[in-house]
Structure 1
Amino acid sequence: MTAQLALGTYRCRAIPEAAAHAAASGAQWIDTAPNYAAGRAQKLLAPALAAHPSLWVSTKVGYFTVATGAEAVNAGALTEDQAPAGHSLVPDYVRWQIARNREQLGRDALDMVLLHNPERAYTGDRRALHHAIRNAFAVLEEAAAAGHVTGYGIATWAGLEEEVFTVGELLALAVEAAGGQRHHLVAVQLPVSLVMMTPIAQALHGRGPLPAAAGAGLRVMASTPLHGGELPGMVGQELADLIRPGLTPAQACVLAVASCPGVTDVLIAVSSAPHWREAADAVAQPSLTAAKLREITGVLASA
């Protein structure tokens, strides 16, 4: 089954309009973060979420703007020394940011909170990084117990590919954070595209984070399927026709990611109705077979 389309708000030029198009199309998820749109993304999304309460929202903790860092220092969630880093997983900050996310999004309970690029805290000591992730997970478990968060996960750029943590290790850390009880780790978000093909190639051989996450029942949210909007200009019509005749390069790129084993959601940052419909038409196509995906990755690997 082809994955579902979801709205990603990173680099999204018109967040309220994009959210309205996503809701009108029947999309279930909108993904955001407190540092997107120069710190305004969550407030911009709030009216759309109020108008469409059935929309699920995933947001993040980790990165923060200079202004948000100053707020966190004033609130006692960060020290003066921690604020200049622009990123933190310390429990006091995670706890404060969850409350701030709820307020800005206008939601009593957040559907999902993701640790934003936890590898940003990696300094060469995997044990120290895992300790920081476990402590952040413990705060998220606390929030879940209070009814403020339904589930949590990680949004990573390179952490899984570079194996500074694995899906199995994240699950073990979640179990530990939950005190051996049922944990609320429900998702991983990572880049999957015809540029960043490693997760696709691994999944086709039953290896890597995608089958590991799928096997554990986790939601897998594929970010940057168009590689920041650059990929359609890099993919010619010949390759698009190899993927699926009749599709535009952008549609072909989206379908390839949506067809990858283990992927449940494809995040796209589009603001206009025509672009949203184009992407929706792509994921409505029958999934590409594993054989076709192997052919595509083989062609690209040899290019």
Structure 2
Amino acid sequence: MKSATFEYHRPETLAEALALLAELGDEAKLLAGGQSLVPMLALRLAYFDHLIDIARLPELRGIAVADGWLRVGAGETEAAVGRDAVVSGAVPLLTRATPLIGHFQIRNRGTLCGSVAHADPAGEYPTVALTLDAEMVAASASGGERTIAGAEFFTGLWSTALEPDEMLVAVRFPVWSGRAGFAVEEFARRSGDFAIAGAAVAVELDGDDRVARAAIGLLGMASVPLRAPAAERAVVGQRVDTLDPAELGALAMSELDDVPADLQGSAAYRTRVGATMVTRAWTSAIKEAAGQTAGAEGAIHG
């Protein structure tokens, strides 16, 4: 199939792009990498009268650390994020999630902010953003910039808290310090497929090998990316040698309602897989935080 007809706009500046978005409203869609949008248009799962191409706007470029935050501009591709030394030093979880996104052709075109704004519940970057309490920087012609907390950003399947005239111009990730470990684990039928279930884990240990803080994110388990707050609360203050990773995985699943069922598997199957992914990610993250060698990311293909 081919997409329905639309009018193509290629603004030269961010201000021009925001003005177009304000003028056209719901009739327009922003185009950055297009790795999610273009297939949906081609299959006529989505239709817009206007596409606004923002891929070449210089104001949307840039990866930098300042005041304890890593800022990634909306023009940065997933491949650029995955190979950037600043990213790997500041937010390792991003670096480890990147190879799990589709194929290298997709990562060469797709953008981090585009993935976050697309809000796919099986998306790696949305899950990492939620797990790390990232901040989304939105901009509009009328209101300027505002910051949206990660916990408030994802509102439903493929939907966010962005207003029709707003653009996601950057995502800010907090930089963890101390004895921290990070891991991403997911299960997919084939390499490049969307994950059936997965987990992203960040953990920090104190000097007595107690969990100082923990963040556990879940992908593919609902219509939005999720956190596992009960599991996070249960581990904080506990010595790591007293924690059972398998029990933690089960606890992370215990709060879930309406786990999706589809051709990939039943809700019960997805729940079992999700528990296993939490168990494996937690184990790897703890090993890294404790200074041991760990394979901190991985994908399993059935």
The structure with the largest helix share of the pair is 1
The structure with the largest strand share of the pair is 2
TM-score by length of structure 2 reads 0.27
More relative contact order, 1 or 2 (CA 8 Å, 6+ apart) = 1
